[in-house]
Amino acid sequence: DLANIINAAALLGGRKSKSYVEQEDMVEAVERAIAGLEKKSRRINPEEKRIVAYHESGHALIAETTKGARKVSKVSIIPRGLAALGYTLNTPEENKFLMQKHELIAEIDVLLGGRAAEDVFIGEISTGAGNDLERATDIVKSMAGIYGMSEIAGLMVLEKQRNTFLNGGTTKDYSDNMAQKLDEHIKKTLEERYVLVKERLVEYRGCIERIVSSLNEHETIDGEHLRELIAGFEQENAMASKLQHLPKSEHKPK
C-alpha cells in the first residue's frame, strides 16, 4: 500500500514537472486512495453546497471535541470520487491495533455528527448521511454481538467471525428473542448518542458557523486551522462566562 501511495505521489509530482516529490504530493496521493479524484468541475447547486458544509463541519467539530476520536487532518467541500460531495479526513495519531470502548463510542458520535448538523442547522435531513448511519449501526452491532461491550448479551458472543480463508464474515447463533433485543439495543444506543451529539453542536453553534464560513471561502481547511477556530471560540466562551459571574461593579463600564 505504501509503495502504491509513493508511486502515485511521484506521478503527481511528475505531471507538475517537479524534480522531486513533495509532501503535498504525498498527501494528495493518500486522499485519492481514500476518497477518489477531486471533481472541481462537478457542479452542485448552492443549497447542496450549504448542506455539505454544515454536514462536514458537524463531523469535524465532534471529532475534535470528543475524547478518543481521531483528530482531523483536513475538511473539504470539494467533490471527490463518484459520490462524495465533501469529506472529513481523520487520521490516527499513532499505530493502534486495539480499540477501547470509549473510542468506538467516539467513532459513532463522529459518524452521527454530519446528520446531526443538518438536523440542527438546516432544519431538515438529507440522504448524505446514509453511509455514516450504516457504519455507526455496524459498530454498535459489533460492540454488542462480538466484543461483549453491552448489557444486552453480556459476555456472550452472538456473532462468530469465520475463518478469513473462507471469505471472512460472521455467523449468527442466537434466538429470535435475542435478535429483537439486539435490534432494540442498537436503535436505543444510536438515538441516545444522536441526542448527545446534537447537544454538543448546539453548544458550539457559533463555532460551527465559523467553520462553515471558512469552508465556503476556501473550500478546504486543514486540521490546524480547524483547531484554531475551535480554540478561539472556547476562549471567547470562557471569557464571557467569567464576566457573567463577576459582581456587576467589577465589569461595569466606567
Residue 228, amino acid: E
22 close to 39: Cβ distance less than 8 angstroms:
no
Written as nine digits, the cell of 237 is 466562551
User: Which residues are identified as catalytic?
Assistant: 56
Q: What are the helix (H) ranges across 16-45? A: 23-35
Where the chain has pLDDT below 70, the residues are 40-42, 82-83, 162-170, 248-254
The CA radius of gyration of the chain, in Å to the nearest whole number, is 22
- Annotate the chain with three-state secondary structure: CHHHHHHHHHHHHHHCCCCCCCHHHHHHHHHHHHHCCECCCCCCCHHHHHHHHHHHHHHHHHHHHCCCCCCEEEEECCCECCCECCEEEECCCCCCCCCCHHHHHHHHHHHHHHHHHHHHHHCCCCHHHHHHHHHHHHHHHHHHHCCCCCCCCCCCCCEEECCHHHCCCEEECCCHHHHHHHHHHHHHHHHHHHHHHHHHHHHCHHHHHHHHHHHHHHCEEEHHHHHHHHHHHHHHHHHHHHHHCCCHHHHCCC
pLDDT of residue 159: 83
- pLDDT tens by residue, 107-135: 999 999 999 999 999 999 999 999 999 99
pLDDT of residue 116: 98
